[in-house]
Amino acid sequence: MAPEDRLILLEIKDRIDGIERLALELKDLGKGVPAIQKNARSILGVTHALRFGISDIVEIECAQGRGE
């Protein structure tokens, strides 16, 4: 993978982790308010899909990069 791609991916992974963290905090803060809890859950469903296609790749790329 090109070094510039790796850098962009790291940035993206960082944002995905951030969204996930915020969604979890939101879910927690919204205890007893279904409108917050259920929408936060929806966000987490999407970050799961994003982690799958992006964050995993970054982790493997970084591990491989360290090994090279």
Which residues are near other proteins by CB under 8 A?
1, 5, 9, 41-42, 44-46, 48-49, 52-54, 56-57, 59-61, 63-64
User: Closest separation between CB of residue 66 and other proteins, Å?
Assistant: 13
Q: Between residues 8 and 33, which has the closer beta carbon with respect to other proteins?
A: 8
Work out the number of other CB atoms within 10 angstroms of the CB of residue 58. Answer: 21
Instruction: Report the alpha-carbon distance of residue 5 to residue 67 in Å, rounded.
Output: 18
CB of 12 to other proteins, least distance (A): 9
Q: How far apart are CA 65 and CA 67, in angstroms?
A: 5
Q: Least CB distance from residue 63 to other proteins, whole Å?
A: 8
Give, rounded to a whole angstrom, the gap between the first and last alpha carbons of the chain.
Answer: 13
